[in-house]
Structure formats: C-alpha cells, structure tokens
C-alpha cells in the first residue's frame, strides 16, 4: 500500500514529466480516479484521461512546471496543499489548492483543485 505522501510525490512528478506521466500515474492513480478543477469542473476520469490533460497542458503552456508552496498536510485521510505553476510564452502564473483523496490501496482516488484566481 502506498503512503499518501508517496502517492502525491508520484502524481506531482507526472505533472512535471509528461513523457513519463503514464507510468508514474500507473503507480499512484486509481483506475477510476477523478481529477477536477475550475477549468475542468466535471473532471476527467481515469489514468488515460489525466495523461491526456497533462500532455495538453504542456503543449498549451511550453515550459510548464508546477511546484508545491506549502508542506502537504494530512487531515481526515485527505492530503491538502497549495501550489504554483508557470508556463507559456510569455510565461503565465497560476496558484491554487489541492485536496487529494485516496483509495483503500493508497492510490489517489480524487484530486479537487481550486484555482486561487478563478
């Protein structure tokens, strides 16, 4: 079983390494995991859909990178953290908060992202 911090670390790497996103998510993302934020409020379901979103983000925002701006904090079985991202030409910056929920095996079952300036 994955520890929440380890699952999050793999997930974070996937966002910063689109070429390896599929293999990284294979390790940490539940088969039917859901990613939702202000830009995809209905969410994307499953690993393949999340890989497509990550790749599309890198294509739309060359040089895209995301990093945490707070220490991930575990509370009531969920992991919460704040983050910033930058990418594009000219570079665009964005920040937000993620709440991450886990499946019984420790894989990520859901990420709910709230954009700071949405």
| Domain hosting residue 102, numbered range | 4-115
Angle (CA) 18-39-114 rounded to 5° is: 95
The rounded distance, in Å, linking the Cα atoms of 16 and 28 is 15
What is residue 118's predicted lDDT score, i.e. its pLDDT? Answer: 54
**Structural domain count, the chain:** 1
**Alpha helices by DSSP H, 1-118:** 4-16, 21-28, 47-60
What CATH number is associated with residue 56?
3.10.450.50
Q: Identify the pLDDT of residue 46.
A: 97
Calculate the average pLDDT of the chain.
96
Asked whether the predicted pLDDT for residue 117 surpasses 80, the reply is no
Which phi and psi (to 5°) does residue 100 adopt? Answer: -115, 130
Q: What is the pLDDT of residue 109?
A: 98
Contact predicate 29/108, CB 8 Å: yes
Paired residues of 93 in beta bridges? 86
Distance of CA 99 to the CA centre of its chain: 10
How much is the pLDDT for 36? Answer: 97
60-107 pLDDT tens trace: 999 999 999 999 999 999 999 999 999 999 999 999 999 999 999 999
Query: What pLDDT, in 10s, does the model give residues 15-34?
Result: 999 999 999 999 999 999 99
């Amino acid at each position: 079983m994955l520890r929440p911090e380890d699952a999050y670390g793999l997930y974070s790497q996937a966002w910063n390494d689109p070429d390896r996103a599929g293999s990284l998510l294979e390790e940490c993302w539940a088969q039917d995991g859901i990613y939702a934020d202000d830009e995809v409020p209905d969410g994307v379901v499953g690993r393949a859909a999340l890989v497509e979103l990550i790749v599309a983000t890198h294509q739309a925002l060359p040089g895209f990178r995301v990093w945490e701006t707070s220490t991930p904090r575990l509370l009531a079985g969920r992991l919460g953290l704040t983050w910033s991202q930058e990418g594009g030409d000219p570079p665009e910056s964005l920040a937000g908060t993620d709440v991450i929920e886990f499946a019984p095996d420790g894989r990520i079952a859901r990420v709910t992202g709230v954009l700071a300036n949405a």
